[in-house]
Amino acid sequence: MTRFLDVSAVSQLLRTVGIEKAIADMAKYIASDYKRWDEFEKVSRVAHHSELGVIELMPTSDKKLFAFKYVNGHPKNIERNLSTVLACGLLAEMDTGMPVLLSEMTLLTAVRTAATSAAVAKILARKDSKVMAVIGNGAQSEFQILGFKAVLGIEEVRLYDIDPKAMAKLVRNLAHTGLRVVTAASVREAVKGADIVTTITADKAKAVILTPDMIEAGMHINAVGGDCPGKTELHRDVLKMGRVFVEYEPQTRIEGDIQQMPASFSVTELWEVLSGYASARENEGDVTIFDSVGFALADFSALRYINDTAARLNAGTTINIVPLLENPKDLYSLLSPVALPLMPKVKEGVAVQRISA
């Protein structure tokens, strides 16, 4: 049987654990999986583009587990009152192909993106970082901020979005977090004096959110929104101001802000830093840049984390997404009116059985 976590189940799980703790815990899963880099089968995601957006599949596996995420990016969904990013994913056993978990991943994508950003900033940002600017106050911004609060101890956030309603929503959602929240009138104002700058905008365009004159010595730039061909956030000269760190170089060359740079432009992969093979921040005055695009490994970690947590809390339901047969060579028995598949008894009219209330 396959465990199923829908949006309600994952949201309930995250509320039970507490979102800050969940991001911090997941950051540990991600860092630990990145340290096993060589054990993973890695491929760039498979992307299907349309005029309005992109749909992607992001698979990866180690010797034991296979995971993939289905995810889209459609900036104009907002006009239809739909989320820009929607996602779901699956975890399966490599030895049998049996799906272990099917889960919503819209929430989990926000959590794992924040957890990755926080895990990376933990080793790249200055240890005394207290102030973060957040450019782009959409669906993922709360997760980023609470992740940086939980993992790095950020105390103040400076917000900017071209949409004042998005900014107001973020202010409202941060009201009871204990953070000092400052709204800014421009990107420049938000960024000035910040220790960490997070850009997480949604527009599918070659945008220039950060220009070189805004960058200060010692800053860590967490560039999250530039994540597919033709979708960037940083002026190309910003990328020359410090070392650039990426998740998986072949994918980031195509999708990241470094798509603006020649193939020879030097980058460092996260696993090298997390494993200690490459240096992290070298001087207090260095600028460090995480050119985040989102890599399948973090989704693998996210599914592993949520599956372990759901097992511990006995959460979710089970579904028959694949058959369990008395005789596996007799798939046709499913079509016989007499022979029925081996399935746990469920109540009449209820296709899915809830494990816990």
Site for a copy of itself in 81-110 (CB under 8 A): 81-88, 90, 92, 94-99, 102, 104, 106-107, 110
Q: Binding of a copy of itself at residue 28 (CB under 8 A)? A: no
* Cβ(271)–Cβ(35) below 8 Å: yes
Decide whether 46 or 217 has the Cβ nearer to a copy of itself: 46
Q: Binding of a copy of itself at residue 6 (CB under 8 A)? A: yes
Stretch that binds a copy of itself, among 59-67, 188-196, 216-224, 305-313 (CB under 8 A): 59-67
Query: Per CB under 8 A, which of residues 312..351 are in contact with a copy of itself?
Result: 316-317, 319-325, 327-337, 341, 343, 349-351
Query: What whole-number distance in Å separates Cα of residue 281 and Cα of residue 245?
Result: 11
Query: What whole-number distance in Å separates Cα of residue 64 and Cα of residue 93?
Result: 6
Stretch that binds a copy of itself, among 135-143, 191-199, 232-240, 286-294 (CB under 8 A): 135-143
271: phi > 0 → left, psi -120 to 50 → alpha, else beta; which? alpha
Shortest gap between Cβ of 160 and a copy of itself (angstroms)? 15
Stretch that binds a copy of itself, among 11-19, 180-188, 219-227, 274-282 (CB under 8 A): 11-19
* Cβ(230)–Cβ(51) below 8 Å: no
Query: Per CB under 8 A, which of residues 207..246 are in contact with a copy of itself?
Result: none
Cα-based angle 204, 163, 56 (whole degrees, multiple of 5):
30
Question: Cβ of 99: how many Cβ atoms within 10 Å?
Answer: 18
Positions annotated as catalytic residues are: 227
Query: What whole-number distance in Å separates Cα of residue 195 and Cα of residue 150?
Result: 16
Decide whether 185 or 350 has the Cβ nearer to a copy of itself: 350
Q: Binding of a copy of itself at residue 142 (CB under 8 A)? A: yes
Per-position DSSP letters for 84-153, written without gaps between them: S--EEEEEEETTT--EEEEEE-HHHHHHHHHHHHHHHHHHHS-TT--EEEEE--STTHHHHHHHHHHHH-
Shortest gap between Cβ of 120 and a copy of itself (angstroms)? 21
Which tokens go with 126? Answer: 């200055």
Shortest gap between Cβ of 133 and a copy of itself (angstroms)? 19
Q: Binding of a copy of itself at residue 21 (CB under 8 A)? A: no
Stretch that binds a copy of itself, among 132-140, 212-220, 246-254, 304-312 (CB under 8 A): 132-140
Shortest gap between Cβ of 349 and a copy of itself (angstroms)? 5
Number of Cα atoms under 13 Å in the Cβ half of residue 139: 20
Instruction: Give the H/E segment covering residue 272.
Output: helix 270-274
Decide whether 5 or 196 has the Cβ nearer to a copy of itself: 5
Shortest gap between Cβ of 235 and a copy of itself (angstroms)? 26
